[in-house]
Amino acid sequence: MQCYALCRFRAGWGYPTALLCTYGFFSSVKPLEPFLIPYLSGPDKNITAEQVNNQIFPVWTYSYLVVLIPVFLLTDYLRYKPVVIFQGRKLNALARGTAAQSQEVTAQPK
């Protein structure tokens, strides 16, 4: 009886919607964002906090907006699954690259 209810839930619209919402939430969580201004305005980057706020962040925001429109159209055309798989692989590769880079930085003697 429980399998029937679970299979029926997965066959409806609620399960894919919940999966997409959960995936969207976790893919948009950016825990390093509060540390971005101190990192970019550090002594080794030679960028002031004012330049970060007035020149870098606006470009970042509007570039997101420009990329969002074709991604939305592509997602509607391809029916979500290939786009979600591609984005998941990209985020995984980005996380692995960031982790490897942080290991290199911590392993270097000063």
pLDDT at 58: 81
Residue 79: domain span: 2-107
The predicted model gives 94-101 an average pLDDT of: 64
Q: Which residue has the tokens 């066959």?
A: 11
- The contacts of residue 20 (CB under 8 Å, 6+ apart) are 80, 84
CA 69 to CA 46: how far, in whole Å?
34
pLDDT at 83: 77
Q: Domain count of the chain?
A: 1
pLDDT tens digit string along 18-74? 877 888 787 777 777 778 788 888 888 888 888 888 888 888 778 878 888 887 888
